[in-house]
Amino acid sequence: MKKIYSKIESITGNVITVRATDVRYGDLAEIDTAFGTSLAEVIRLQEDLVSLQVFAGGRGISTGDTVRFLGHPMRVSFSENLLGRIFNGAGEPRDKGPTLRENLIPIGGPSVNPSKRIIPRRMIRTGIPMIDLFNTLVVSQKLPIFSVSGEPYNELLARIAMQAEVDIIILGGMGLKYDDYLYFKDTLENAGALSRTVMFVHTAADPVVECLMVPDISLAVAEQFALQGKDVLVLLTDMTNFADALKEIAITQEQVPSNRGYPGDLYSQLAARYEKAVDFDTAGSITILGVTTMPGDDVTHPVPDNTGYITEGQYYLKNGRIEPFGSLSRLKQQVNGKTRPDHRALMDGMIKLYAAYKDTLEKKAMGFMMSAWDMKLLKYGEKFEKEMMDLSVNIPLERALDLGWEILADCFEPEETGLRTELINQYWPKKRA
């Protein structure tokens, strides 16, 4: 029998302290309050003083409530029964299904040994030229969508999820608006994908501590599926809410804040989650697509900044388009050398010209006379934006490559493109009679 403690020493925000012995760092406890039972996690030990983070929050907890230590860290039930189900951040059902108790696995486990990883090498086709052609998504990649509030980031996330060829989808929602939660649910349902989906959803109205558990619980489940040989796609939205939850809790704990109030270990905390993306050498894989909303469209804000140094690139969503500048898939060179010989050269060549177009736009805005070259760039930039960048374009990679050459041939002479002669000889569209 586990001992029950009923003397709560202090309550600060979501953190309570009790005096107890024989408690291990990271263990769980249950607290019985007037509002029901909540889980709590040990986050600090100092002699016999134990600090606990209460999942359901500190509101309404009384000094007379009882605390019972469970003697193990946070766990989640893992089996095929998870598929099609929806849970909250503490692993309790959010749908009308039964609570799952079998085969409990720990969450937040150790890192994968880098020598057991394989080089990512499988492309994930999405039908979106700004991804497939310019920043190819690769199995096992960890990639955030950097976005401003108001952009259709959840729509983009859902569309990639629907079109990506994977076995299992796990959605981890953090601080989701209720409408957005329903949007994901409906979209996955309509596409007939719910049966291969597990959702762990924390909505904006739920206790903030539960938000922190969502990525760990989602990734622990993903890891088990991957070890069974499945290709798993984990969608995490929105990681900025996760970081803000970390900040909120660190400050209540009176930790020395680092950058803009975020805790000093923000980088490590984010990395511990994103690094779960993996392609196992003899099993399945985990691909992570997250959303990172950027307060004030500021990419130097600590959350996107730290994220950028951890993830293998990012899609930068702005004005409803994936921007070529700022967007990057670090793993694209693992796969785009094997698609078509013109892929890499065309990808760089078109962006170089698009950068020149942006300069010309600036000149135009200043009211300068446009040279013949400027006119060509203007034509090119407009075509590029309309025919390639628009998110509604849905074509396979090969068609996108052909389209790229058509746009170039429509606007420029071959030697103006900076592409090598041999490629031009092979791919430059013949003039239509």
Partner 1 sequence: MVGTKGTVIAVNGNMVGVRFEGIVSMNEVAYVIVKDKRLKSEVIRIRGNLCYLQVFEMTKGIAVGDPVEFSGDMLSVELGPGLLGQVFDGLQNPLPKLAEQAGYFLERGIYLDALPLDANWEFTPTAKVGDVVERGDTLGTVPEGAFTHRIMVPFNLYGQYTVKSIRPAGSYHVRETIAELEDVSGTVIPVALSFRWPVKRAVDCYEERLKPVEPLVTHVRLIDTFFPVARGGTYCIPGPFGAGKTVLQQITSRHADVDIVVIAACGERAGEVVETLKEFPELLDPKTGRSLMERTVIICNTSSMPVAAREASVYTAVTIAEYYRQMGLHVLLLADSTSRWAQAMREMSGRLEEIPGEEAFPAYLESVIAAFYERAGIVRLKDGKVGSVTIGGTVSPAGGNFEEPVTQATLKVVGAFHGLSRERSDARKYPAIHPLDSWSKYNGIIPREKVRYAHSFMARGSEVEQMMKVVGEEGTSLEDFIIYLKGNFLDSVYFQQNSFDPVDAAVSPERQKHVFALLLKILASQFNFSSKEEARTYFNRLRQKFLDYNGSEWKSQRFKEIEEEIMASVAERSQGLDPRAEKLLV
| Binders of partner 1 in range 404-433 (CB under 8 A) | 415-416, 418, 420-422
Residue closer to partner 1, measured from CB, 175 or 324:
324
Q: What is the DSSP letter of 312?
A: S
Q: Which of 91, 284, 313, 404 binds partner 1 (CB under 8 A)?
A: 313
β-strands 278-279, 123-124 pairing: unpaired
Is 352 among the residues that bind partner 1 (CB under 8 A)?
yes
C-alpha–C-alpha distance, residues 192 and 122, integer Å: 25
β-strands 49-54, 15-19 pairing: antiparallel
C-alpha–C-alpha distance, residues 320 and 318, integer Å: 5
8 Å CB contact between 226 and 283: yes
Residue 432 has which token pair? 């239509």
Is 369 among the residues that bind partner 1 (CB under 8 A)?
yes
Is 310 among the residues that bind partner 1 (CB under 8 A)?
yes
Is 47 among the residues that bind partner 1 (CB under 8 A)?
yes
Interface residues for partner 1 in 108-137 (CB under 8 A)?
108-120
Is 215 among the residues that bind partner 1 (CB under 8 A)?
no
27 DSSP β-pair partners: 73
Q: How many residues are there in the chain?
A: 433
CB of 180 to partner 1, least distance (A): 28
Is 141 among the residues that bind partner 1 (CB under 8 A)?
yes
Residue 297: burial class (beta carbons within 10 Å; 0-12, 13-18, 19+): middle
Interface residues for partner 1 in 250-289 (CB under 8 A)?
255-259, 263-265, 267-268, 271-272, 274-278, 280, 283
Q: Indicate the helix (H) or strand (E) that contains 355.
A: helix 343-365
Q: Indicate the helix (H) or strand (E) that contains 142.
A: strand 142-147
Buried/exposed 369-402: b ≥16 CB within 10 Å, e otherwise: eeeeebebbbebbebbeebbbebebebebeebbb
Which residue, among 270, 331, 313, has the nearest Cα to 143 in the 3D structure? 313
CB of 203 to partner 1, least distance (A): 28
Q: Which of 351, 361, 391, 395 binds partner 1 (CB under 8 A)?
A: 351
From 179-187, 234-242, 321-329, 397-405, give the range in contact with partner 1 by CB under 8 A: 321-329
From 28-36, 80-88, 163-171, 372-380, give the range in contact with partner 1 by CB under 8 A: 372-380
8 Å CB contact between 289 and 157: yes
Q: Which of 48, 92, 95, 398 binds partner 1 (CB under 8 A)?
A: 48
Q: Which residue type sits at 141?
A: Q
Q: Which of 1, 34, 46, 425 binds partner 1 (CB under 8 A)?
A: 46
From 29-37, 123-131, 192-200, 355-363, give the range in contact with partner 1 by CB under 8 A: 355-363
Q: What is the number of alpha carbons within 13 Å of residue 16 lying toward its C-beta?
A: 30
Residue closer to partner 1, measured from CB, 1 or 366:
366
Q: Which of 363, 379, 383, 399 binds partner 1 (CB under 8 A)?
A: 363
Is 9 among the residues that bind partner 1 (CB under 8 A)?
no
Q: Which of 22, 92, 186, 398 binds partner 1 (CB under 8 A)?
A: 22
Is 295 among the residues that bind partner 1 (CB under 8 A)?
no
Residue 200 has which token pair? 């762990």
Interface residues for partner 1 in 72-111 (CB under 8 A)?
73, 108-111
Classify 281 as helix, strand or coil. coil
Residue closer to partner 1, measured from CB, 99 or 115:
115
Q: Which of 1, 21, 80, 101 binds partner 1 (CB under 8 A)?
A: 21
Residue closer to partner 1, measured from CB, 37 or 255:
255
Q: Which of 14, 147, 293, 314 binds partner 1 (CB under 8 A)?
A: 314
Interface residues for partner 1 in 158-197 (CB under 8 A)?
none
Is 64 among the residues that bind partner 1 (CB under 8 A)?
no
Give the interface size with partner 1 as a residue count (CB under 8 A): 90
Residue closer to partner 1, measured from CB, 54 or 266:
266
| Max CA pair span of the chain | 89
Residue closer to partner 1, measured from CB, 155 or 275:
275
Instruction: Give the other-Cβ count within 10 Å of 127's Cβ.
Output: 17
Binding mask 326-345 for partner 1 (x = CB under 8 A): x-x-xx-xx--x------x-
8 Å CB contact between 8 and 71: no
DSSP codes, 218-237: HHHHHHHHHHTT-EEEEEEE
Q: Which residue type sits at 253?
A: Q
Instruction: Give the other-Cβ count within 10 Å of 189's Cβ.
Output: 13
Residue closer to partner 1, measured from CB, 186 or 413:
413
